[in-house]
Each structure stands twice: as C-alpha cells, then as structure tokens.
Amino acid sequence: MGGGKMEENDVNGSGRVTNLVLMGRSGNGKSSTGNSILGRTVFKSECSESSVTKECELQTTFRNGRIINVVDTPGLFDTDASPDFLGKEIVKCIELVKDGIHGIVLVLAAETRFTTEEASVLDNLQMLFGPEIVDYMLVIFTGGDKWEKKGLTVEKKLKEFPDKLQKLISQCKGRMVVFNNESSSEKDMERKISELLDHIDNIIKDNQGQPYSNELFRQAQAKSEILVSKQDLIKHKEELVIQLREMMEENKRVLVSRMEEISVSAEKIRNLEEELKQSQEDLKNSQPNNKWCFII
C-alpha cells in the first residue's frame, strides 16, 4: 500500500478533507481518473485488461479549497476477483482512510459494455459493504469524448444501458460524470472535477456528514455473516429436502419392483394351479372306463 504526499505548493493549503475510493474493472481508466483528480500523474496507468495496480494506494492533493485523498484499488471488478480478495482489499481501503470514505467512485469505460460479471461483483460489494454502500457511490464514465464526437449525452446513453446498470444509477440518485482523461483543456477538466466534487458534497449532505466508516463496515460484516449463516441454513435445508425426496423415490422404486415381483409370482402360481388342474383332468380322462359285473 502506498501513501502519497501533496505537492510542495499545496503543503500550506488548508480545508476540509474529502476521501475518495476508485473502483472498477482493469482497463476502464480508473488510475487515469485518479491522476486527473489529483492534477498530476502518480498512479501507474496503462491501457490493459490486466490490473496494473496491484494493491490499494493512497495519494493526496489540495484543490478546490479542500484536501482530497484518493485511493486507487486493484481490479476489484475483474472477472477473476474472488469474494475473499474483495474483502481483503476493502479492509485495506478503510485502513488507508481512517476518517471514513466520503465517496466511492465506480469507473466505467464509455465504450465498454457493462458485463454480467461486473454486475455480479457489484452484488458481492453490496454484500460486503452492505446495501447502503450505494448511498456513497457515483459513476464516472471515461472516454467521454467518444460520445461527444457522436453527439451523444450520458442522458441519451442511459436508455441503452442494461437494466442492472440503470438500477445502480437510479440507486445512486443519478450521480454520473463523463470524464475525458486525455483532454488537454485544463478548463474542461476543472469543470469536470468541480462537477464530481459537487456530487460528493451532495453525498456527504445526504448522509448527514457521516462518511462510510470502519464501524459501518463491521456492521455490514456482521449482517453479512448472519445472512451467510441463514443462506447456509437454507442450503442445508434444501439439501435435506433433496435427500428426502431421493430416499422417497428410491423407496418407491423398490416398492414398485417388489410389487412387480409379487405380481409375477402370483401369475406363476396361477399358471401352475391351472397346469395342475389340467393334469388332473387329463389323468382322469385317460383311465379306462371298465365296469365289472359279478353274479352270485
């Protein structure tokens, strides 16, 4: 885990602290977005499907009258990210920003489809963080210049998003920002940063100034453990029901088999009885009909 210091000309800056955590799939521009927020290149960034960021890293800057702590994370939304890996990295994030998380920034690529795997990881995050995590979340779409060239806005694209993503954005109260990390216009980037921070301020206001803290995470973990215990109990119950059904089916099969055997045996007995009766009649019919008369 890394810790970054502010630039020298920022050291004397004072203001409130805003803690942000960047999340997203590798290749979506997560680290580049962090660099844009910081105003300098500190997070390693490459156009790659594999995660360049190997562990949580914190960097700090001062801008717009506030200290901004930005935590870059490994590819928590990568298809090979296990729940155990997610849990460990989340703990690292919370340890890095001990004052709590004011905003969780989900970074998506404008021209990349939101996959079922990402939706699944999002479900895992909500299970680990707790369902209230969406109260602290906003979505950044990188590569926004590609939409602009096509004359598209995020509002128009919203109708094309899959249901799972539309639901997430709705839960986030429509908090979205379109970034172009390759833009050479400082004015445009400042406008986007201000838009981002406005959303963060609204998140802080909606949560009564309470960041997502270690205490909330522990509560979510406790609920998650209870939920997992319930799920395990339900699973065990379902397994018992399946076993019971299998036993009943097996008993039914054995019973049917035995009944068939009894039916066959009864048929054999009837055939033997008929054969015996026929044999007796044949024997009776085969005896000579001789009558003897004695005269005294």
Tens of pLDDT, residue by residue over 14-30, are 568 999 999 888 888 88
- Among all chains, which residue has been given the structure tokens 């209870």? 226
Backbone angles phi, psi at 23, to 5 degrees: -135, 155
Share of the chain above pLDDT 90, in %: 23
Task: Count CB-CB contacts under 10 A for residue 62.
Answer: 19
Taking residues 111-138, what's their average pLDDT? Answer: 81
More confident residue, 205 or 148: 205
User: Coil, strand, or helix at residue 253?
Assistant: helix
Structure tokens at 116: 């079922």
CATH pick for 2-212 out of 3.20.20.80, 3.40.50.300, 3.40.50.12170, 3.30.70.141: 3.40.50.300
> For residue 224, what pLDDT band results from cuts at 50, 70 and 90?
low
Nearest by Cα to 169 from 220, 90, 222, 108: 108
User: Coil, strand, or helix at residue 20?
Assistant: strand
For the ranges 153-167, 185-199, 215-229, 252-266, the maximum mean pLDDT occurs at 185-199
Nearest by Cα to 183 from 149, 217, 232: 149
- Cα separation of 142 and 30, whole Å? 8
pTM: 0.67
Structure confidence at residue 89 (pLDDT): 76
Mean pLDDT over each residue of the chain, to the nearest integer: 78
- Cα separation of 216 and 88, whole Å? 16
Taking residues 195-210, what's their average pLDDT? Answer: 94
Structure confidence at residue 46 (pLDDT): 60
Q: Residue 234: which residues within 8 A CB-CB, separation 6 or more?
A: none
More confident residue, 5 or 134: 134
> For residue 59, what pLDDT band results from cuts at 50, 70 and 90?
very high
Using CA atoms in the order 8, 22, 81, 119, what is the torsion angle rounded to 10 degrees? -170
Looking at the chain, the number of H-run helices and the number of E-run strands are: 8, 7
Structure confidence at residue 220 (pLDDT): 65
